Structure 1
Amino acid sequence: MKNILFIVFVSLLLLGACSKRKAVSMEEHVVNLHYDTTAIDSFSPGAMSVDVARKIRQSSPEYLDSVKQALKLQQEEKRLREELEKENKKKEEEKNKKGTEESTPIQTQ
């Protein structure tokens, strides 16, 4: 009986020692990042360079309309600034004229 228990114990020990170990993989610890875009291989069909994509976006009607609108706004602001400067110059000239007229005495002969 002792021999049988000893043989069973040794055989279980050998089976446990010789069995393949399960390797701890790093995949369990990898964090999957979720992006809102899909990566396209540069050699796959449908892949496009950044420059080509920019040119396509810039040629779209919405982009062109927004550029035209921005130019109109800049021109309007420039025109308003010029008008304000003209008005300010006129006011300064009038003040200078009034100031010179008041400072010079009237000469009578």
Structure 2
Amino acid sequence: MKNVLFTTFIFSLLFTACSKKESINSEAVQDIKPHYDTVAVDSFSNGAVSVDIARQIRMSSKQYKDSVKEVLRVQTEEKRIKQELEKENKKKVEEEKKKAGPDKKEKTEQSQPSNGTKAE
């Protein structure tokens, strides 16, 4: 009986030692695990704010209101400056026309006698 137990033990040891072992693919396990550098935030968690509410908060802030007022002030100032420049340009054009009108008459009078034939 001792021989039977001893031979069974030897055969089981040889069977387990000589059996084909499957290798564990460690690379496949690593590929499955994604590496994130940030933590996902649940939109329903404490401190989460929807996009619309965040926009309303930004728009109601004093800094935003001040910036809107400043932009409107700059735009009205630019419009006023453009209108003044247009008025000045119109005045200059009218003055040039007034000056050019008498000058043209004088030039035409001077050119007519010199173009005429001499009567002898």
TM-score, L = length of structure 2 = 0.63
Structure with higher Rg: it is 2
In the alignment, which residue of structure 2 is the partner of 1:13?
A: 18
Q: How many residue pairs are counted as aligned between the two chains?
A: 96
Separation in 2, partners of 1:46, 1:33: 21
Q: Bigger CA drift: 44-53 or 78-87?
A: 44-53
- Structure 1: runs of 5 or more not aligned: 1-6
Matched AA of 1:13 = C
CA deviations over 1:35-87 (Å, ceiling 9, x no partner): xxx64322223222101100110110001111111111111111111111111
Separation in 2, partners of 1:91, 1:31: 72
Correspondence 1:21-100 to 2 at 5 A: 21-23=24-26, 24-25=28-29, 26-27=31-32, 30-34=34-38, 39-100=40-101
Separation in 1, partners of 2:67, 2:74: 11
Separation in 2, partners of 1:79, 1:71: 12
In the alignment, which residue of structure 2 is the partner of 1:4?
A: none
Q: CA RMSD in A?
A: 3.0
Separation in 2, partners of 1:75, 1:31: 54
- Structure 2: runs of 5 or more not aligned: 1-10, 107-120
TM-score, L = length of structure 1 = 0.69
Separation in 1, partners of 2:98, 2:62: 54
Structure that is richer in helix per residue = 2
* Deviation, structure 1 residue 103: 1.5
